Structure 1
Amino acid sequence: MPQPARETLSADDIIIATGSQPVMPTIPGSDLPGVITSDGAFLLPEVPARAVVVGGSAVGAEWASLFRTFGAEVTLVEMMPTLLPAEDTEIGRALTRSFTKRGIKVLTRHTVTAVEGEDEGHGGLRALVADADGEPVESLSADIVLFGVGRRPNTAGLDLEKAGVHTDDRGYLPVTDRLRTNVPHISAIGDVTGGIQLAHVASHQGLVAAAVVSGHDERIDYRAVPAATFTHPEVASVGLTEAQARETGHEITAARFPFAALGRAHAYGATDGMVKVVADRSSGAVLGAHIIGPGASDLIAEAALAVTHGVTLKGLVDTIHAHPTLGEATMEAAMGALGLPLHTAPVRRRR
């Protein structure tokens, strides 16, 4: 087969944006038909009747939620104590409760150690599950087993070494806060940099890199990156979790406000979930916010602005929020953190 024609391009600056791809773990049976990653899920010709999803972070949780929405019998297996382990633990526990109510079987502190073909011979699979001690506990029947447990950078074949561009031991491209690699005039953005692998982060990196190439002194700041997980219910967060805030030496105050107390949520018929705010006790500065519930991915923008610009709890409370809206939950949570709740019982202020 003839090779495609190659073309040599010259430029003053090069920006590498080759992204990443899902990783398939090397366990017995990972090469069987029906064992897929998130990329393979997009190619499924129909909704599987039975799905085992391995990995309870954003990718796995989103696919588990989607499969269940379309009627599949779903089991979600996560090795950590809660789903969405990068999120505040209260959010992970709340998502587990919501998934369980929807009929998704959630197995935390478990792993899939192997996949086998079913004995009946009609194309089914069995996922072998072990507990936190590695002891076999269950065999799950499935039509597909989806692994959402990691990614690797698309740097193979780029011949980066010929240009002197350094990669780390996983193949990612370390960059400065101006998105420069170790080689002048070669930059990198997106998943290939090995940082926060979110589409909106890659887009913002692109803006910064383009500005730097154009001669501006722009720099990337990752202190207030919002994350959104498009499950049902949605999850979104920004800044520090309660545990992270304590670990970094903050004396904090934290409070939450349930969507069940909002008229707008009742009008939507979606009252599960809450908004949680975490703030520094002495200054009142908002350190983080964590949301599970309707519109979480939209509501997080206000909190991201607060964390980015050092807005205090009082600043959120003093900002008039339209009524009836879901956004009132952020203001109400801030009031609770100040010990001034309007529509819920006073929240014990954590020390």
Structure 2
Amino acid sequence: MSVKISMKDVAKEAGVSVSTVSRVLNNGKYVTDETKNKVNTAVKKLNYRPNVIARGLRTQKTNSVGLILPDITNEFFGKLAKSIEEKLNEHNINLLLCNSNENPKIEKNYIEALLDKSVDGLIFISSGFDENLDLFPEDLPVVVIDRRPSADRNIYFISSENKKGGYLATKHLIENGCRDILMLKDEKLVSPMNERLLGYQAALRDYNIDFRPEYIIKSKIDLKEIKEKILKIHNKIKFDGIFAGADRLAIGAIRTLSKLGYQIPADIQIVGFDNIPFAKYYNPSITTIAQQIDKIGHKSAELIIELINNKNMGQADSFYFPVYLIKRESTT
């Protein structure tokens, strides 16, 4: 009795996922010619006979768009998802939301799952693992938000003016009399935080203040780790201001410094970034750089709809939304 060959066997032979084999056999969307050749070669080699009744994947529009976020608990990403959903709903398009939890393997699985569902387009915020971008078929409409891929790719990108935000925050501290300014930044090597660092450095340079590498403090966005980092340096480095690259970093710094007996802003002034809702109600309320999250979300949705309806839009473009300072109690 001959062994029955399954789709899983074909996938293993071709070196692709089962969902990819399914898309090839059903003439589905988003499959490269190279992948088709691999699958078809494996089918012939193994003499695989697909179940005809099970075939028939739809190739028309599904009226669905996938959204992959790195951390849904982050207020920035949560608000962004809501604004994207609002705009898509106006066009009767369903949003399929996936949270990668900053994990490249989970992110890869979600990309493959969304392709298997034949979504019409994908809005993507990377976990920082650029190789997953190679999973996107060339004919898949894609919009990347917030975290710019490190490689030079022809892909639509939307973000805030992060460098300008870092500049405005540092400039505000300097003009309030600060001269020894720490930057507290997320340890992840993602483009928004690195651009905010460039803005911090530019402001120091414009005001003739030396940049000191030891004044860059890297931390996870975690209250316990922020506390440990502050405790480690507060008696070793003299500082009168902190630019925190995210409001949640600012909250951790204020909490720790207050327990150490520092008065905010009398002893140390602090500026955050993002304008999360809690920043307004914290004690003291946090001076911050605000991003236009709703506008970024709406633009992302509008752009993905445009790409779905007109895939031959030529060279991809980038869009940057202005940021602005909101003065509150954590600075004088």
After TM superposition, is the score higher than 0.5? no
Q: TM-score, normalised by structure 2?
A: 0.26
Higher helix share: 2
Q: TM-score, normalised by structure 1?
A: 0.25
Higher strand share: 1
